[in-house]
Structure 1
């Protein structure tokens, strides 16, 4: 397993997951203001999103790309997003259908990429622009929903905007999944 600064950033992102999760399970008497927990959770999520961009940029810029880094980076991303979505659903801040669509797509495309790699055609399903738009909408939506202590039954402007962005992210999620499946379709026939 190679060690370099970009891979350390990816491991840091994975380390943020239990810290991020524990914030939601702190005893009520430890923190008197829920907004503090929301801000901390949003901070850890934003830091993870920034390190996601930064580790890839540095790996390419410094010539430190590796097969292990290419494996670990998307795993860290998907774990953080899945945990955040589950916590947002559990706290009533977003709809379960949004989480099901996004997590389901991530599992499907990860399996598709693995299968395409076995066929020697991984580049056929490399990250496309639509996937980048999906990720941006998804990250912004999750960030806003983490900041908001409102619920879907009693929303405020922040939660309404977050859920609107989540809806947009879900549309882009389905669109990008269909795009990747189309790119792999000729391999299905073979």
Structure 2
């Protein structure tokens, strides 16, 4: 199997995951800034590999499989780390509930796509702007929360901004998930399924 440039970038993104985790927990000076930079770099490679794949026509089956897996791994692991470090009180509750919504939606939609592929009726839905907006809000929220996860008094205001962005991302996550459910609903009633264009960031 020949691995092209976009797929190498995706593999690089996967390799950044343990680096981010170590930086997040290792108590060296500036570890939170390092972890935030690594996460932001992963986000940049997410955009870049998709851009290069479309621009240079370097798509592959392996890359199409690995890209969403890498994205979901990075987001899910980051959310788990943030929940673990923000226990108790309303901030912990907000973090846990929002994270559960985001991860739960990703699991549900992945299962829905797999089921529809098995029955040979792969319905997708056009949510290009909504998906991209959700992804931007989610990435910004996680970068801010990684940067300020220790919540010292001087950084508390910025931390609350990150919380707010994550809540917005959670709402958009539910909204975009409903599009997938609406597209798949006819299959649940044995009706013809419309095929609509999909955005991978949905």
Match of 1:68 in 2: 62
Contact 2:82/2:149 (CA < 8 Å) preserved in 1? Answer: no
Deviation at 1:60, TM superposition (A): 1.1
Unaligned runs of 5+ in 2: 191-202
Match of 2:172 in 1: 172
Normalising by structure 2, report the TM-score.
Answer: 0.84
Contact 2:123/2:184 (CA < 8 Å) preserved in 1? Answer: no
Match of 1:37 in 2: 31
Counting matched residue pairs gives: 184
Offset from partner CA, 1:69-120 (integer Å, 9 cap, x none): 1110000000000011011111117611111000001111111122222233
Match of 1:13 in 2: 13
Normalising by structure 1, report the TM-score.
Answer: 0.89
The 5 Å alignment of 1:33-112 reads 33=29, 36-92=30-86, 95-112=95-112
Deviation at 1:42, TM superposition (A): 0.7
Unaligned runs of 5+ in 1: none
CA RMSD of aligned residues (A): 2.1
2: CA distance between counterparts of 1:151 and 1:181?
37
- SS of 1:24's equivalent in the other structure is helix
2: CA distance between counterparts of 1:152 and 1:87?
18
For residues 152 and 115 of structure 1, do their structure 2 counterparts lie closer, same or farther at Cα, with a shift above 3 Å needed?
A: farther
Deviation at 1:166, TM superposition (A): 0.6
Deviation at 1:17, TM superposition (A): 0.7
- SS of 1:13's equivalent in the other structure is helix
